[in-house]
Amino acid sequence: MYLSKCIRFCLQQTARTVSKESPLWKRYSTAAVQPKIDTSFVGALKTIVGDANVSTADAIREQHGHDESHHAVAMPDVVVFAESVDHVSKVSKLCNDTKVPLIPFGSGTGLEGGVNALQGGVCLDVTKMDQIVQVNAEDFDCTVQPGVMRLGLNNYLRDTGLWFPIDPGADASVCGMCATSASGTNAVKYGTMRENVLNLQVVLPDGRVIDTAGRGRRTKKTSAGYNLTNLFLGSEGTLGTITEATVRLYGIPEKTISAVCHFNEVSEAVDTVVQILQCGIPMAKLEFLDDSAIDCFNRFCKYDMTVAHSLFLEFHGPAYGLEDQFQSVKELIEMNNGFGLKQASDADERNRLWKARHEMVWACTARIPGSKPYSTDVCVPITNLPEIITKTKQMVVEADVIGPMVGHVGDGNFHIFFPCDHSDTETFKKIKDISHKMAVMAMELNGTCTGEHGIGIGKRDLLVAEVGEETLGAMKQIKETFDPNNIMNPGKVFF
Amino acid sequence: MSGLRVIVGCKRVIDYAVKIRVKPDKLGVVTDGVKHSMNPFDEIAVEEAVRMKEKKLASEIIAVSCGPTQCQETLRTAMAMGADKSIHVEVDAATYENLQPLHVAKILAKVAQDEKADIVFTGKQAIDDDCNQTGQMVAALLDWPQATFASKVEKANGDLTVTREIDGGLETIKVKLPAVLTADLRLNEPRYATLPNIMKAKKKPMAKKKPADYGVDVAPRQSILKVEDPPVRQAGSKLDSVETLVGKLKDAGLVPS
């Protein structure tokens, strides 16, 4: 049902005529591209990457036509596996010359339909480029190719005492995390991808290969020219294909304390968070789970936690001083009527706790077997958090849907993972309604409709409202400059 | 049971995440420029020893590795995790290619005697040769009890109670000390070495020895004839009917005609 709506929308776009009077960037940029995938095109692809690296098999196309969101599968016409930057460059050029859509594909763990091939075309799977190009341990940086996944990187680094702390939960590809400007549970201490990428190698739609900070540069700061690195961060595959990323590393924390506590009122939990941050305590993780989420958590991960609004906390730091931080937070929790504060006793229990937290998406969808996660991702300034969480919780309760709330409240960011079954149209409508209202509320409270998952397919209308016509126009100008034929992931971010 | 002395065997192997490639001469696998790390099961053994020390069951942990110079990196990792000192038994690269569990077991047994160890702890097997022999051989050479495939180790009045993973499930045994233990996967999750601990490890003592110091002859007793890739998987084909399938099976001689 959602897919047919998408198709209808795309067809509407083809009918719009281009006005010759309005500036280039004011025309609706998504003239629907008619893919010319015929045997000669597939043959041209095979010449570039080799026969074994091109597939039109249904199963492969289906796998590459969706991510982990609820958006319906939209298969590309052909899947190409690139083994080098040269492959990526030549395939991009071919697609640009023939005006065929091109969608880069990494781990397929996105949550906003970023890889769904709404207009068919070529899905460019870059995961065969899986080298960790270099690790400069004493400079705290490393360079990776698109096939390197976050957990694999941390595994490789373990003997150096360093880690890559951005933790979106899924085992996402590092370059994919660049494309969506990912974040996660550790952002409150270590920041998001925006603060942690030093350089990117990007293949532009016409095949040109650029290094956003210059080849081999890996400095902590630079004022040289425009900040292209941060332009491509979060561009969701609409401006080019990332083929290498140089990222910042951090020392593995000397000591870690994890703890859980509970509250009877949502406002008490959120007030505690605001106060902790006001005190300047450098939390490593500060996560909120509402009672509905704890219920899912208990069922799925076989835990026996008190079913109440909860905060999961983690402190990272040197061995001395960490207990003091913990004591300060303990006092704040008690001041806000928190109860049941319990430290995880050892590493195994800590790992179990955070693993379960990261499986929340699945825990929520497990409540309705066969459902997919419809995730919301609003982010507001910390002081506006109490209002939006309380009002959202009210909406969920009134609508009588399963809407577990889970969030990186330390950044003012929280999610609702609605288990969503498209065939249950009534519930789906309610979910979309709440989700939309949340985003509107967030924007009214100086916030954003997406803190870390990206715009993808489902939030294009919200982007328009969030940034306004002028800024949107500026963004589209950039898109037109880099990708005049609109081959890069058409239909995402913008209509 | 105050202060057990624990020897931990640490083997340097190709990192488990690396794609293994056979050398062109088909006599081994490519090791040059390939990432190596401590055998994962040995990491688990080191972690368990460190936890025993934190619980005041163990008083000293000595990590031992036999092999070329690069084994010293493996020992530094063990010391960064919490081992107190280490012994590198140097074996040159060429001899190392044919070093067998029996050689290593003889060396570890001698080390255990010299160091007056109470426990010899190794991983259950190395991920390169999958031999699963060294721990058992050490026990035989020393005439010590062995608790292999340990997934839980607890103290119990001067002895150890060890839960072992066996084919039928879990077996719990009581083991008198001194004993040999080998670690299985679910014993624990090893800690990562932190930067401060890596720095401290550089200052911990590492003794350099040779097999001859322990009276062990490491001359090879076998030679590798051939190392090959497993056969490349052939593509399958979709058949349209059961009759076609049966026909193909008959043609291939897999069912009687």
Q: What are phi and psi of A245, to 5 degrees?
A: -135, 135
Length of chain B, in residues: 257
Cβ within 8 Å of residue A54, ≥6 positions away: A42, A45, A46, A78, A79, A80, A81
Enter the tokens of residue A137.
């341990």
pLDDT digits (tens, 9 = 90+) for B147-184: 999 999 999 888 999 999 999 999 999 999 999 999 99
Residues 6 or more apart whose CB falls under 8 angstroms from that of A203 comprise A85, A88, A89, A92, A209, A240, A241, A243
The token pair at A284 is 């490593």
User: 63-92 in B: which are within 8 Å (CB) of A?
Assistant: 73, 77, 80
Residue type for position A391: K
A249-290 pLDDT, tens digit per residue, is: 999 998 899 999 999 998 899 899 999 999 999 999 999 999
Contact A173, A442 (CB under 8 A): no
Q: Provide the mean pLDDT of chain B.
A: 94
All residues of chain B having their beta carbon less than 8 Å from the beta carbon of residue A163 are: 192
Architecture in CATH for domain A132-251: 2-Layer Sandwich (3.30)
Maximal CA-CA distance, chain A: 71
**What was the pLDDT predicted at A344?**
85
Distance CA(A262)–CA(A282), nearest Å, equals 21
Q: What is the pLDDT of residue B169?
A: 95
Region(s) of chain A under CATH 3.30.43.10:
33-127
Q: In this predicted structure, what is the pLDDT of residue A26? A: 41
Residue indicated by tokens 């709440």: A434
Q: Where in chain A is the domain with CATH 3.40.462.10?
A: 255-444
Using 70 as the pLDDT threshold, list the residues of chain A that sit under it: 1-36
Residue A5 has what pLDDT?
52
Q: Where in chain A are all domains bearing CATH 3.30.465.10?
A: 132-251
- The residue among A246, A238, A247, A244 whose CA lies nearest residue A104 is A238
Of the candidates A140, A126, A69, A55, the residue with the CA atom closest to the CA atom of residue A92: A126
Q: Which residues contact A113 (CB under 8 A, 6 or more apart)?
A: A66, A67, A69, A71, A74, A456, A457, A458, A492
H/E run at residue B89: strand B85-90
What one-letter code names the amino acid at B98?
N
CB B53 within 8 Å of CB B2: no
Task: Please check whether residue B146 is in contact with residue B179, taking contact to mean a CB–CB distance below 8 angstroms.
Answer: yes
Kind and range of the H or E run holding B134:
helix B134-142
ipTM value > 0.90:
no
Per-residue model confidence (pLDDT) at position A266: 87
Mean pLDDT computed over B44-51: 97
CA geometry: angle A110, A114, A118, nearest 5 deg:
140
Provide the token pair at A79: 């899947």
Q: Across the A/B interface, how many CB contacts are shorter than 8 Å?
A: 39
Contacts B198 to A, Cβ<8 Å = 160-161
3-class DSSP state of A180? coil
Q: What is the mean pLDDT of residues B17-23?
A: 92
- Distance of residue B31 Cα from the nearest chain A Cα, in angstroms: 17
Residue in chain B nearest A155 by alpha carbon: B17
Query: DSSP labels for A418-484?
Result: EEE-TT-HHHHHHHHHHHHHHHHHHHHTT-BSBSSS--TTTTHHHHHHHHHHHHHHHHHHHHHHH-T
Domain A255-444 sits in which CATH superfamily?
A: FAD-linked oxidases, C-terminal domain (3.40.462.10)
Q: What is the pLDDT of residue B120?
A: 97
Give the pLDDT of residue A36.
62
Q: Decide yes or no: CATH 3.40.50.740 for domain A33-127.
A: no
d(CA B190, CA A353): 17
- What is the rounded distance in angstroms from the CA atom of residue A436 to the CA atom of residue B117? 67
Question: For residues B22 and A343, what is the distance between their CA atoms, to the nearest angstrom?
Answer: 49
The owner of tokens 């004493």 is A138
Residue A219 neighbours by CB distance under 10 Å: 13
Non-local CB neighbours of A146 within 8 Å, separated by 6+ positions: A104, A106, A126, A127, A129, A130, A173, A174, A175, A176, A242, A243, A244, A245
AA identity, residue B60? E
CA B17 remoteness from chain centre: 16
Question: Of B67, B69, B138, B123, which is closest to residue B98 (Cα–Cα)?
Answer: B67
pLDDT value, residue A407: 87
Count of positions (residues) in chain A:
495
| Residue A149, burial from CB neighbour count under 10 angstroms (0-12, 13-18, 19+) | buried
Closest CA in chain A for residue B18: A156
pLDDT in the model for residue A14: 40
Q: Give yes or no for B127 touching A (CB within 8 A).
A: no
Measure B255 CA to nearest chain A CA, in Å: 31
* Other Cβ atoms closer than 10 A to B212: 10
Q: What is the pLDDT of residues B207-248, one digit of tens each?
A: 999 999 999 999 988 889 999 999 999 888 888 999 999 999
Distance from CA of A257 to the nearest CA of B (A): 14
Give the Cα separation of A104 and A79 in Å (integer).
10
Under an 8 A CB cutoff, do A156 and B35 touch? yes
Residues of chain A in Cβ contact (below 8 Å) with chain B = 152, 155-156, 158-163, 251-254, 318, 347-348, 351
Nearest CA in chain A to B73: A159
